[in-house]
Structure 1
């Protein structure tokens, strides 16, 4: 795989950066994506942290039904140092 960074994706797809500016030039090491539905439910045993995480309608709808402390806990676990980015596809 050619070296790609989060900044490359931001520019190519006209994405908006919300947070994590200090990491946008790190190489993304895999072309695999993850839709972390099972992680949103609290199961992180096999979390593929080195993949880009894609949150779509299903993940965001589930996330909205969690209690505030559960949301914070799950997001902290999703946002690891190894995670190259989280793409939110619906708003």
Structure 2
């Protein structure tokens, strides 16, 4: 298997851009003072991004995926993101096993 140098360069550039964005955000937040309302808004971003990425596929594939996406969205209102995601994975597996 060969790796095209341009492909490798693109992958490395994307990795650097991703790392720089994350580090920049952490540095920026060190200088900010957020009130309670702003903190809640920031905490809502990860589940919102997850649903924005997952929803198009979940709604276009089948009933098991659609139901599991709804379960995950509801769970994300109360549970940490990792727990809600794990619940969604378990739900889609169970629903597929039931034949949906």
TM-score, normalisation: structure 1: 0.27
Higher RCO (C-alpha 8 Å, min separation 6):
1
Higher strand proportion (structure 1 or 2): 1
Higher helix proportion (structure 1 or 2): 2
TM-score, normalisation: structure 2: 0.25
Of structures 1 and 2, the larger Rg is shown by 2
